[in-house]
Amino acid sequence: MLGFTHLEEYLRLFAPLNRRMRRQRVEISGEEIYGYIMSIFDNRFDRHQIRFDTTIDFRRYVIKTFPSTLLPVLINLVDNACYWLAQVEPVRRWIRLDIHPQGISVENGGEGIEQRIADRIFDFGFSTKPEGRGIGLSIARRSLRHENMDILLLNPGERNTPHFLIVLNKNDESHLE
């Protein structure tokens, strides 16, 4: 029963990914994304002594896209980072969002992701978390690809900090304010 409860809670987090009726692209700023993430994770950041920040360019960044696709992916990346960061020394507990020529960069100070599993982390059912379900990154990639976007691990390797890139749809307008 515990497994089903966890799955229901996790799927509720991703519910907006499946809402396709009356969806429309809207402008969303990096500042709004920052506020949204803080509203969800502020207590967890405090509890685990995780420093969450963004670059100035990210906060000034505005993209016209589907928030119901983009925001759950960012939430999943931050949630995963929080889990892994809680297990490293406090000086390495940081998460940073930035802009990238192809989209949005999400990096954290955690342990690197081995080259041999770099592509598998996006496979449904694959997880390195004890008792992990292996559905978050798979659903994230699938929903992004449905909108001609993608998610990549930029720097696989045990000695590298995890650095993900959300590749945005070229048709989604974006600019710095």
Type of residue at 168: L
Please, which residues have CB within 8 angstroms of residue 150's CB and are 6 or more apart in sequence? 141, 144, 166, 167
Write the CATH number for 82.
Answer: 3.30.565.10
Of 126, 124, 150, the C-alpha closest to 138 is: 124
Tell me the per-residue pLDDT of 21-45, one tens digit each, with 9 for 90 and over.
447 889 999 999 999 999 999 999 9
For residue 71, tell me if it sits in a domain: yes
Indicate the number of domains in the chain. 1
Nearest 5°: the CA angle 5, 7, 11 is 120
- Residue 104 falls inside a structural domain: yes
Asked if residue 22 belongs to a domain, the reply is no
Q: Which domain holds residue 71?
A: 2-17+49-176
pTM comes to 0.85
* Predicted confidence (pLDDT) per residue in 129-151, tens digit: 888 888 999 999 999 999 999 99
User: Closest Cα to residue 86, out of 50, 51, 111?
Assistant: 50
